[in-house]
Chains A and B, each alone.
Chain A
Amino acid sequence: MECLVGMQCNDFVMVAADMTAARSILVKKSDHKKYLKLSDKLLMAVTGESGDTNQFSEYVAKNIMLYKMRNGYELSPAAAASFTRRNLAGYLRSRTPYHVNLLVAGYDDESGKPELYYMDYLASMAKLPYASHGYGGSFTTSILDRHFRPDMTRAQAYALMIECVKEVQKRLIINLPNFSVTVIDKEGIVDMEPITQAVIANQATA
């Protein structure tokens, strides 16, 4: 029911996550943040089993902090994604696997490039220019296949994200009214305005 979308352009990564927290037929919250800042330029968006999401993402975040304290420098996005994946894989064949689907997004200062990693609960990982999770992901992937360009500006990427959200809201039977949008670039992590009904309406009139 949950949806994550990410796109990596030439000098930033943009990640959108739906903001609906629901249990069975009840919508508990429609402004729920489904992402966690792992470090200054590293973000992890998580969906999946409730509880596993928090536990796993917080565990990874604190371990990444610990690495920084121990070694004096931060893990690169590739290394952090690798660490995350290895943890998932380790727990997979135990009695207590984590059922979480992730998008890990970051900016690598060394190479000067933004990076996006897709990871699922079976601990598979792929570095991708754009990726998504959830039923909504099927629709957004088509949109991105058609319209994604790596040289987009932030505004253009945000507009494309709105198109993705509109498609999900049109075709997915589950109502996902709000999506949070976050951007990571060489300055760090910036929260953009969440895509809500108002924002979509404004964009239509603009």
Chain B
Amino acid sequence: RAITMFSPDGHLFQVEYAQEAVKKGSTAVGVRGKDVVVLGVEKKAVAKLQEDRTVRKICQLDEHVLMAFAGLTADARVLTKQARVECQSHRLTVEDPVTIEYITRYIASLKQRYTQSNGRRPFGISCLITGFDYAETPRLYQTDPSGTYHEWKANAIGRNAKTVREFLEKNYSEDVVQTEALAVKLAIKALLEVVQSGGKNLEVAVMRAGSGYQMLDVSEIERVVKEVDKEKEEEAAAKKKETKSDK
């Protein structure tokens, strides 16, 4: 019954294969601002006859917790269901909303259990869990199929996550995410590195301290995309001028 057992050289191949499944999923990015948290996802193109359902990849776990995932959507559904129950259960027993770390730990423990139980395969998703602790402190956590979790200032998962993460490493700083507008712009800019330009291909959710979350509508995203594109053009034009003047 050795589905998740060690290989001779110490690997858990099923977990690694699960991580491969995650790499096939559409990209998601998370940015932790000063008093906002932003989640952006790449919207997969839908078939012509398919109804375009918004908000599939960003799930609300509780009033103050948002989750985006990359990988097997069906697996995410199961995790979301259990996480939502746990959020309410926590409120019932200790009369406090969950901290983001708590619910991340819960989800990660669930994932880990499936890497050790018999007859089960690991969950094929990585999650970006974000929100506010006690309506004050913004948090962003990432989990992966192995059941590990870490806190991040900004991160990306899914297809081309490496490219997006490198972009974030170059461009993230405390100043850059001072305001909501800037944090949203950074998230969109990061996603545009790997996603075709256009508001139709992105879904962006913003959560502010103490209030719920808001999905940005297409016009708003388009506006930021245009801004980003314009800046890129200006940068490219400026660079051209520099190289010309060098000659």
Contact = CB atoms under 8 A, between A and B. Distances in A.
B100 to A, nearest CB: 16
Contact of B62 (A58, A59, A69): A69
| SS class, residues of chain B in contact with chain A | helix
A171 interface: no
A62 B91 contact: yes
Contacts of A66: 84-85, 88
Contacts of B87: 69
A63 B81 CA distance: 13
Nearest to B65: A69
Nearest to A65: B88
A146 interface: no
Which of A58, A59, A65, A69: most chain B Cβ within 10 A? A69
B92 A70 contact: no
Contacts of B88: 62-63, 65-66, 69
B60 interface: yes
B89 interface: yes
B61 A58 contact: no
Contact of A62 (B60, B61, B89): B89
**Chain A: interface size category:** under 10
**Chain B: interface size category:** 10 to 19
Interface in B64-105: 81, 84-85, 87-89, 91-92
Contacts of A62: 88-89, 91-92
Nearest to B87: A69
A69 B92 contact: no
A62 B61 CA distance: 13
A176 to B, nearest CB: 28
Contact of B60 (A58, A59, A63, A69): A69
B81 A70 contact: yes
Contacts of A69: 60-62, 84, 87-88
Contacts of B84: 66, 69-70
Given A69-B61, A69-B87, A58 B92 contact: yes
A72 B88 CA distance: 15
Nearest to B62: A69
Interface in A22-68: 58-59, 62-63, 65-66
Contacts of A59: 92
A116 B155 CA distance: 49
A72 B53 CA distance: 13
Contacts of A58: 92
Interface string A56-98: 0011001101100110100000000000000000000000000
Nearest to A70: B84
A73 to B, nearest CB: 12
B56 to A, nearest CB: 12
A120 B139 CA distance: 44
Which of B60, B62, B81, B92: most chain A Cβ within 10 A? B92
A58 B90 CA distance: 12
14 contacts: A58-B92, A59-B92, A62-B88, A62-B89, A62-B91, A62-B92, A65-B91, A66-B85, A69-B61, A69-B62, A69-B84, A69-B87, A69-B88, A72-B60
Given A65-B91, A66-B84, A69-B84, 4 more contacts: A59-B92, A69-B60, A69-B88, A70-B84
